[in-house]
Amino acid sequence: MAKMTMVEALNMALRQEMKRDDSVILLGQDIGPDGGVFRVTDRLFAEFGENRVVDTPLAEASIVGMSVGMAVYGLKPVCEIQFSGFIYQAFHQIENHAARMRWRTRGRLHVPMVMRAPYGAGVRALEHHSESREAYWAHTPGLKVVIPSGPRNARALLVSAIRDPDPVIFYEAKALYRSLREDVPEEEETLPIGRANIARAGDAVTIIAYGAMVRPALEAADLLAEKEKMAAEVIDLLTLSPLDEELLVASVKKTGRAVVVHEAPQSFGPGAEIVARLMEGAFYYLEAPIERVTGFDTIVPYFSREKSYLPGAERIAAAARRTFIK
């Protein structure tokens, strides 16, 4: 097994799926000779050529709209939207078509496509390059939303997303691209879409996170273990939609306490839905109101102030402690 960054692991997933299936086609801006602005498609142009790694004109609606057509035809397009902050230029193609082709044709046509996009703050990027707006897509019926938290699960989930028969939004945290390495097996590995993972087992309080927030959630669990001798359970969602509510409910039934973490703004964010599901499934087991630790209801400030916007381990640990105050 090789130690890989998330960028390298995603690159491997793309390469292996392209080798395995010649209907897998990559489309995006600067993904060809340049290898993508984050290098996720590094060397794929040289290996597979311009018909498999398609450098597109600067138009997101073209990338997504063409992919819908290609997917209806029977190909498996994997789009790279250079930054999730520019996926809105394709909003109508996703909402009006990708998400509902199967439904409109009563299953006759469908669009197996993946829309990859880097998201999130913490890398000192220019404006429009740091937002977390996954709620738009989780709110859209007909889309699956997958958000990995590290190199190994990113690779396995991307493979599953490519093989999935439905459109998948695949958000990649920029903050994780190169900040950690993990062993990633060369052999095929997939992870089921729609399943969360217990990243750390515990019985005192359930901390629910995804993407770049899993790391501070685990650090918060460390703090709670050190200072309070408290065993927090950390759940890494991996898929935001469809949500693995079974696992969440089971965990909260056990702990009676929950903290939901995301860097997206709070109001109408993923946390609101997660809390609602816990209320439906585990209300009588709750010992305290569920806490949310999220981005604020403002736009991610330009990078000199972004650190204060992002939830960190201290903020999460403090919320976990609050669930013990009666």
Partner 1 sequence: MGRKRIEPSNCTIDYLSILDEYGNLDTGLEPEIPPEMHLKMLRAMLLGRRFDERLLDLQRQGRIGTYPPTKGQEAAHIGSAILLKDSDWFVPSFREMAAEIMRGRTMESALLYFNGYNEGTIVPEGSKDLPMAVPVASQILHAVGLAWAAKYRQTGEVVMAFFGDGATSEGDFHEGLNCAAVYQAPVVFVCQNNQWAISVPLARQTHSETLAQKAIAYGMPGIQVDGNDILAVYAAAKEAVDRARDGGGPTLIECVTYRIMMHTTSDDPKKYRSEEEVECWRQRDPLIRYRKYLLQKNLITEQQLIALEEEIKQDIQAAVERAEKRMQELGNPLDQFDHLFAEMPPRLRKHKEALAKELAEAGREAHHG
Ligand X SMILES: Cc1ncc(C[n+]2csc(CCOP(=O)(O)OP(=O)(O)O)c2C)c(N)n1
- Asked whether the beta carbons of 144 and 276 are under 8 A apart, the reply is no
Say how far apart CA 219 and CA 205 lie, in whole Å. 14
Is 58 a binder of ligand X (CB under 6 A)?
yes
Q: Which C-beta is closer to ligand X: that of 58 or that of 109? A: 58
- Angle at which helix 151-163 crosses helix 6-20, to 10 degrees, equals 30
For residue 220, the tally of other CB atoms under 10 A from its CB is 30
Site for partner 1 in 13-52 (CB under 8 A): 29-30, 32-35, 37
Say how far apart CA 287 and CA 290 lie, in whole Å. 9
Q: Which of 82, 84, 149, 294 binds ligand X (CB under 6 A)?
A: 82
Q: Which of 46, 58, 276, 279 binds partner 1 (CB under 8 A)?
A: 58
In the bound complex, which residue of the shown chain has the CB atom lying closest to ligand X?
Answer: 86
Binding mask 89-128 for ligand X (x = CB under 6 A): x---------------------------------------
Selected catalytic residue, list 97, 129, 139, 262: 129
Q: CB within 8 A of 257, min separation 6: which ones?
A: 204, 205, 206, 286, 287, 288, 290, 320, 323, 324
Taking only Cα atoms into account, the Rg of the chain, rounded to an integer number of angstroms, comes to 19
- Please state, in angstroms and as integers, the Cα–Cα distance from residue 249 to each residue in 17, 155, 232, 245, 278, following that order: 34, 27, 15, 6, 6
Q: Which of 62, 72, 275, 281 binds partner 1 (CB under 8 A)?
A: 62
Respond yes or no: is residue 129 known to be catalytic: yes
Q: Which does 125 bind (CB under 5 to 8 A by kind): partner 1, ligand X, none?
A: partner 1
Site for partner 1 in 73-112 (CB under 8 A): 85-86, 89
Say how far apart CA 7 and CA 162 lie, in whole Å. 17
Site for partner 1 in 127-166 (CB under 8 A): 127-129
Place of tokens 């950690």: 180
Q: Which C-beta is closer to partner 1: that of 56 or that of 149? A: 56
Reduce the DSSP state of residue 208 to 3 states and report it.
strand
H-type alpha helices, 186-264: 214-228, 245-255
- Least gap, CB of 314 to partner 1 (angstroms): 8
- Asked whether the beta carbons of 113 and 99 are under 8 A apart, the reply is no
Size, binding site for partner 1 by CB under 8 A: 39
Q: Which does 51 bind (CB under 5 to 8 A by kind): ligand X, partner 1, none?
A: none
Size, binding site for ligand X by CB under 6 A: 5
- Least gap, CB of 192 to partner 1 (angstroms): 35
Counting Cβ atoms within 10 Å, is residue 267 exposed (0-12), middle (13-18) or buried (19+)? exposed
Q: Which C-beta is closer to partner 1: that of 1 or that of 59? A: 59
Say how far apart CA 151 and CA 133 lie, in whole Å. 22
Site for partner 1 in 293-312 (CB under 8 A): 296-299, 301-309
Q: Which does 227 bind (CB under 5 to 8 A by kind): partner 1, ligand X, none?
A: none
Residues with a catalytic annotation lie at: 129
What residues line the site for ligand X (CB under 6 A)?
29, 58, 82, 86, 89
